[in-house]
Structure 1
Amino acid sequence: MKSNGLNLVLTIVTVLLMVGYGQPVMGCTQHFPAETSPSDTVMRAPLETPVQLGHQQGALIESETIRVEFLEITADSRCPSDVVCIQAGQVTARLRVSLASEESTVQDVISLTLGAAAGDQAMAKFDSYTIELIEVDPYPVSTEEIAPSQYVVTIVVSEA
């Protein structure tokens, strides 16, 4: 029994190493790993340009040094377009932001809120960049529920 458990642990460690958790080879410039290069879920985008990201989609901004990924909508209390409300409500998006350099990759998860009553919570600073949430679609309608996969956020990344 002990050897089966040890074999399982060794197999997991081997798989993790094969996936790319090792350090880059000396002399190589570190950019984001191959799995974060542009694909169906990651696109390239210039600085200071509105970028639309679908659920679980990311964008590599400015020469692949900063990556922003739309994780989920954590709250959507916006007043439906076919209803009259006292307050407009707000919507909060969670984003993963990563910044690669030759030495390391720094990563954080941020929440940005549109329609927040107190203060400007639609913008966050990350290293030398500002990430701003511009829009969240679709806008709610009282007769329709929005599935998590339907949400699209529009963000702008600029130099701080």
Structure 2
Amino acid sequence: MKRLMVLMMVALATACAKDEVTEQKASFGSTIETAYSKAVVLQEGVEVKVTKIEDSRCPKSVVCVWEGMVKVFISVSEKGATKEAVIEIKGGEQKPASTTVELNGTTYAIEVTDVSPYPQTPDPISLQDYKISFTIRKA
């Protein structure tokens, strides 16, 4: 009986430790909405994943000296190679922010158009609650 309980605890711990990866399929140039830690598989086996979010944007119901910013950390993988990119969007700005990543001789342009939810109060937002909208193109 003890062995069974130990095996069940190990199986549960292993399942909880894995990153949640979805097989969300998308194509280059289309608007993609994804969540923190969820992978998106594009044409030709390119995988994009949001690995970290740092949000210091001023909440809507608060008066701040600085509007803050949100940083979206993105991992782009293809054929065993991975590159990281950081995209910063200043609080209150309506235009998208972009960066490029070169991987296996191909340059990819990534443009983040939205990071939601926008903070409403000084309380932090759980990483799992964030939704990121972006496009990726071959440059």
TM-score, normalised on structure 2?
0.70
**Structure with max Cα Rg:** 1
Correspondence for 2:90: 115
User: Given the alignment, which residue of 69, 73, 78 partners 1:90?
Assistant: 69
Look up the SS of the partner of 1:140 in the other structure.
coil
Determine the C-alpha separation between the residues in 2 that align with 1:76 and 1:152: 13
Equivalent runs, 1:7-156 vs 2, <5 Å: 41-61=22-42, 63-73=43-53, 75-100=54-79, 105-115=80-90, 122-126=98-102, 127-156=106-135
Length, aligned pairs only: 114
Determine the C-alpha separation between the residues in 1 that align with 2:75 and 2:126: 20
Look up the SS of the partner of 1:122 in the other structure.
strand
Q: In the superposition, relative to structure 1, how do residues 147 and 40 fare at CA in structure 2: closer, same or farther (>3 Å)?
A: same
Identity of paired residues, percent? 24
Deviation for aligned residue 1:40: 6.1
Deviation for aligned residue 1:87: 2.8
Determine the C-alpha separation between the residues in 1 that align with 2:123 and 2:65: 20
Determine the C-alpha separation between the residues in 2 that align with 1:50 and 1:81: 26
List per-residue Cα deviations over 1:48-78 (Å, max 9, x = no partner): 11111111111112x23311011121x2111
Determine the C-alpha separation between the residues in 2 that align with 1:42 and 1:112: 23
Kindly indicate which of the two structures has a greater share of residues assigned to strand: 2
Look up the SS of the partner of 2:44 in the other structure.
coil
Determine the C-alpha separation between the residues in 2 that align with 1:46 and 1:154: 14
Q: In the superposition, relative to structure 1, how do residues 146 and 68 fare at CA in structure 2: closer, same or farther (>3 Å)?
A: same
Letter in 2 for 1:95: I
Q: Structure 2: which 5+ residue stretches go unaligned?
A: 1-19
Structure 1 runs (4+) greater than 3 angstroms displaced: none
Deviation for aligned residue 1:144: 3.5
Q: Structure 1: which 5+ residue stretches go unaligned?
A: 1-38
TM-score, normalised on structure 1?
0.62
Equivalent residues of 2:37, 2:49 under 8 A apart: yes
Single out whichever of 120-129 and 141-150 deviates more from structure 2. Answer: 120-129
